[in-house]
Amino acid sequence: EIVMTQSPATLSVSPGEGATLSCRASQSISSKLAWYQQKPGQAPRLLIYGASTRATGIPARFSGSGSGTEFTLTISSLQSEDFAVYYCQQYSSWWTFGQGTKVEIK
């Protein structure tokens, strides 16, 4: 099983500031990585697939990068609606998720 490790567990950011979230795979997954946003009481929402392609309707302030085993989700200027938990997910070998990074208001 491919293990996905996200860091940090919690990120405290002020509105308007940027945020960088990391995701590491236990083995190479090429670019077969997706990012999701989950708000309390809601289902996850797809943000990014193919490591760097924004899903339909996702604002340009969200960007993804990386390949192989190291990946990054960057939020350029946090809006109030961006405070949430973010999960990475690999689809190279079945599907596994990271444990999540909570982005909270500083």
Partner 1 sequence: QVQLQESGPGLVKPSETLSLTCTVSGGSIARYYWSWIRQPAGKGLEWIGRIYTSGSADYNSSLKSRLTMSVDMSKNQFSLKLSSVTAADTAVYYCAKVGGGNNWFDPWGQGTLVIVSS
State the minimum distance, in angstroms, from the CB of residue 44 to partner 1: 6
Sheet holding 62-67, edge to edge: 4-7, 19-25, 70-75, 62-67
Which CB, 5 or 77, lies closer to partner 1?
5
Which CB, 14 or 56, lies closer to partner 1?
56
State the minimum distance, in angstroms, from the CB of residue 16 to partner 1: 29
Binding stretches for partner 1 (CB under 8 A): 1, 32, 34, 36, 42-46, 49-50, 55, 87, 89, 91, 94-100
Which CB, 16 or 57, lies closer to partner 1?
57
CA distances (Å), origin 55, targets 15, 37, 47: 23, 12, 5
State the minimum distance, in angstroms, from the CB of residue 52 to partner 1: 13
**DSSP codes joined into one string, 31-50:** T-EEEEEE-TTS--EEEEET
State the minimum distance, in angstroms, from the CB of residue 1 to partner 1: 8
Three-point CA angle 7, 11, 15, nearest 5°: 145
